A and B are shown apart, each in its own frame.
Chain A
Amino acid sequence: MMKMVSRRRFIKGLLGVVIGSSVKAINTFATSTSRREGKNWGFVVDTTKCIGCGNCVKACKLENDVPIDKHVYRTWVESYRIKSDDEVEIASPDGGINGFNSVEYKEGEKSFFVPKLCNQCEDPPCVQVCPVGATYSTEDGVILVDRSWCMGCRYCIQACPYKVRFIHPEHKVADKCNWCYHRITKGKLPACVQACPVGARKFGDLNDSESEVSAILKEERIGVLKPDLGTKPRVYYLGLDKEVR
C-alpha cells in the first residue's frame, strides 16, 4: 500500500512539473509575440515619390555587409509597367542597385517604382515556422534572426509570403532586413531611409503621435502588401497600385 501511494504521489508530482513547464512555455511565447510598452516602429513607403535611383539598395548592402555582387537583397526596388491591355511587367534588375534603364513606353501605359523590404509583420509566418527559435519578434516590433542559432533550414524563406528572406552567402544562415536594428535603437534612421534622396522612405515610432509616420497613418490613405493573408505588415504604402503584390 505504501509503495502504491508513493508511486501515485511521484506520478502526480511529475505531472505537476510537466504541466508547470508547459504553462511557463506558453506564457513566454505569449509575451514574445505581444506588443510591449515603448517603441512601436513603423515604416512608410511613398511610391509616388520613388525615382528608382537604387541608392537605398546600395546603402542597405553597404551598411549590413550583404555582398554587393551577389543576387541577394534585404531591400530592392521593382519597376511596374501596366500596359493598356492590363498586362503587368515587373522588373528589378540586380534589385535596382544600379538604377533602371530607359524603356520605350506607349500611350495609355502606366509605370511606377515600388521599393520592397521586410514588412516586420505583427503576425509573422517566419517566426511561427522556425523550428529552433532562431527568428523572433522583438518587443518594439522588429523581426530578428539569431545568426548563431539559425541552422539554415530555409523553412522561414519558404514561409515568408513577401519573399524578403535569403541565405546569407557568407554566414550561411537566414538573413533579411531588420530596419537596421543597430541604427534605430540608437536613434538613427535605417540606412535606406537615410540614403533616399527624395523622401520616399519614412521611418519612425508609431507610439509617438508627433512622428511623421504617425501623421501619415492618421491622415493619408495607405495600403499594405497582401492584406488578405492576415500577417499585419508594419510597412505602409502610399499610392499603392492594385497590381502590386
Chain B
Amino acid sequence: MVLVLIVLIIASAGARYLLIPPTFGDKGHFRADNIGEWEDYPSSYAESKACKSCHLGKHTDWSDAGHKTVNCETCHGPALAHSKNPVDTKPNIDRSRDFCGRCHEQLEPRKRNIPTKVLSKHNTGTQCVSCHNPHDPAPKTR
C-alpha cells in the first residue's frame, strides 16, 4: 500500500515536471514568461515625430493645421519599416475621394464633429487634393 502511494507520488511529480512549462505558477495560474513575450511583440508604427526629421516641411504644415490631430500613420499606414529603410519601403499615399470620404463623407451620425460633404454632389470628378492640401486642408481656392 505504502509502496503504491510512493510510486503514485513520484509518478505525479514526474508528470508535473514534464507537462507543466517553466515559470507556470510563478506569478499566478499562468506562464509568467508570457508577459515578457507580449511586451517584446514587434510594433509596425514609427509615430509622427519620427517623420519630422526627413519631412520637416510637411510636418510643419501639418502641426499647425486642421489635420494636426490626425497622425501621419493614420493616413499613410505603419511606417516603421520606411523610417528604417526609406528607399526600399514607401508608405501608403491614397489620394482617392473615397479615402477622404472615410472621415468627410456626410453621414447622419457624424454630423456634429468635423467638416463633411455629400461627396456625390461636391466637385465630382475632381480629386479632393486638387483644392485641399492634406497636410493643411483648409481650401486655398474656391
* B55: Cβ under 8 A from any A Cβ: no
Contact present for A198 and B113 (CB under 8 Å): yes
Please tell me the size bucket of the interface on A. 35 or more
Known: A182-B38, A182-B39, A182-B41. A51 touches B27 (CB 8 A): no
CB of B114 within 8 A of CB of A136, answer: no
Interface residue stretch chosen among A141-149, A153-161, A164-172, A212-220: A141-149
Q: How far is the CA of A183 from the CA of B80 in the complex (A)?
A: 13
Inter-subunit contact A185/B39 (CB<8 Å): yes
**Does B42 sit at the interface, judged by CB under 8 A?**
yes
Does residue B122 face the partner (Cβ distance < 8 Å to A)? no
Cβ 8 A contact of B28, one of A28, A134, A182: A28
B102 touching A54 by the CB < 8 A rule? yes
Q: Does any Cβ of A come within 8 Å of B110's Cβ?
A: yes
The residues of A that contact B69 with a CB separation of less than 8 Å are 197-199
Contact status A194-B73, CB under 8 Å: yes
Q: Are B108 and A63 in contact (CB under 8 A)?
A: no
**Is A92 on the interface with B (CB-CB < 8 A)?**
no
Determine which of B24, B44, B114 lies in contact with A133 in the assembled complex, contact meaning CB atoms within 8 Å: B24
B88 within 8 A of A: no
Stretch at the interface among A96-104, A203-211, A228-236: A96-104
B7 at the interface (CB under 8 A from A): no
A120 within 8 A of B: no
Whether A182 contacts B43 by the Cβ 8 Å rule is yes
Alpha-carbon distance A62/B42, docked complex (angstroms): 11
Interface band, chain B = 35 or more
In contact, B44 and A134 (Cβ under 8 angstroms)? no
Q: Which of A14, A135, A144, A148 contacts B35 (CB 8 A)?
A: A144
Chain A contacts of B41 at CB under 8 A? 181-182
B67 → A minimal CB distance (Å): 8
Contact of A194 with B71 at beta-carbon distance under 8 Å, contacts A133-B30, A181-B38, A185-B39 already known: yes
Q: Is A31 an interface residue (CB 8 A)?
A: yes
- Return chain A residues, CB-CB under 8 Å to B118: 102
Contact across chains for B29 and A29 when beta carbons are under 8 A apart:
yes
Docked pose: A77 CA to B28 CA in angstroms: 34
Please give, as numbers and ranges, the residues of chain B lying within 8 Å of A194 by CB-CB distance.
45, 47, 71, 73-74
Query: Given the interface contacts A51-B114, A197-B70, does A33 sit within 8 Å of B40 by beta carbon?
Result: no
Interface residues of chain B, those whose CB is within 8 Å of chain A, are 1-2, 5, 9, 21, 24-25, 27-31, 34-35, 37-45, 47, 67, 69-71, 73-74, 77-78, 101-103, 105-110, 112-114, 118
Beyond known contacts A100-B109, A146-B30, A195-B74: 9 more, CB 8 A cutoff: A28-B29, A33-B28, A51-B103, A103-B107, A182-B40, A186-B39, A194-B47, A197-B71, A197-B74
